[in-house]
A and B are shown apart, each in its own frame.
Chain A
């Protein structure tokens, strides 16, 4: 029978960025907190030291830092009338694992969302008319505004030490930064990266076409930095082993490098690793959580952790799954349109353009860093007039130099045989003279893209896997096609000998890696019947449960989610600290 731990005030399920932020924000509150992490503890020293960390096979190909899908995976299908099957090996996305989660192995590309992203439906209807949003899309407003989040974006960016040059400081537009961005209260805490060769070529071509390139805001630090928590980060050495790897130099912002040194000493916070949470326990009427039940991984025992407040702070869709497994809210059913947990699952709409240069152009893409890139925002979101185009949304176009590790990167022009002598010679010829432009695009919600519990397949603990039903809406394919063509135009001015467009096509496949930007499922909003949480991330149905992460996004914007995930964590932390702990209960009347 389950053993019961002493009760705490706050229990976190999953200890990555969002749990670390909220726990730190509650450092002066009279609460006892425990963070339950199902994985292991790990830290820069000794776990991320090179040369062992610079093992492409072990970490990038065999996914050494990622979730082990042998124990738990997801099932996938494109449409509700198909049978979902397990994602038997990692591919399209790479959830993290262990302490720090995906915040350890991410690239560090740190973009805010636009003002319009938070009021996406009403913005489009105002600008383009009521019929502007295609019928297939179920995009919606968030219930919060960019202005609500701005101070919290600022907090998160200063926590990380993001490196960039602001294009809009309190309305003052500054060329050289992102002139399209929403206004920020102040500049970034650290100077931007210096362009790599590919980025510099791209910038010139983009400027010739009248666009406004800027350096990608980077959480690979450009200089030593002590963040407001007193934690010190170091400059990135540009080693080319960033995404999928931990950083040996304390130079990539992660929970370990930004918060853990102070959090581990915080008196009112206890980390418990090897604690795999099965579910949130609820009262019979499901209006209140009493705590969680977890498996002690070391012993296999079932343990009950009573708590006054439960924070679901696992990766993205894991939080939606926990809600479904626990009976929080009502599962969404696309046939009826009813239910508030599971809807509006979205992803990221990616495409690219490959550029094959002459042999005298040494791109040296292996001298890379995760967020080392030059980007234009001219075709992101609604930054351009969509009148008559027949789609909503956009993508940023970036020339990244994140590394060029050979198992994953050995480009050859189309028509090259896939193996043999000719292939081999082509690999040698093109490896150091090939780069790409990435179109990183918005992912809009539809009524049939959602998550629920799979009826057939289970995890190692016997619990149903999460089932993901997703395909790219036609709208998003049209958007991607359009922006890819704009990228080709820029590519043509970059001096390459050959350009190859790689547009996004349907159906979404789980096989090739795209991004780990899985969003939605426990979305935020103003309607308790249709959304899982209110504007503070508080469950409508079970008010002493708060939810964090990209699962809150009603749809995914053009940009990488992490900056917005961090900002929302600070926003939720403030709501818990300043309002909920003073007077527990729904923060938004239902």
Chain B
């Protein structure tokens, strides 16, 4: 029983790191993803091409490799700050990676709003900014809840990749029990933490979807 408490406390500590990485990634990757989606939809072709290439590269390379790249590569050109900050390195890699995935979800959501909505706003004398914030964005939000929910749930579990540069997440804490005392069950016990977290997120997305169901698009 004492061991169980000790393991739980240690895992909770690691889970704190997992949650911090998760939340920071969301806070920065959501707005960045929206900006990137504007870039990939830009009428200015050079910008559009550059953004599409960036999205291709970031989505095309394993996230684990990107974590390594952000952690080590700046050091080659004399930027040593990241090599000293593992958590920061992991966060940057996660933000860039998820922003690119989110951008495609945003793009799909924005392009799905009929052109007529914008035109209706225009003939009513609204500015493009007003049309985007008052008309388009809410419809985008309603449309993208299911794919966003999917992606965000994937992010919860992807955070485990941060331990390749020794960020002390929940799985790494569990592995340390295995390495030091030869007990392996804490590793499987971590699944409970993930399940509870993902369960809460599932409820949250279900709630948001229900809240938006008062209108149809």
Note whether A and B form a binding pair.
no
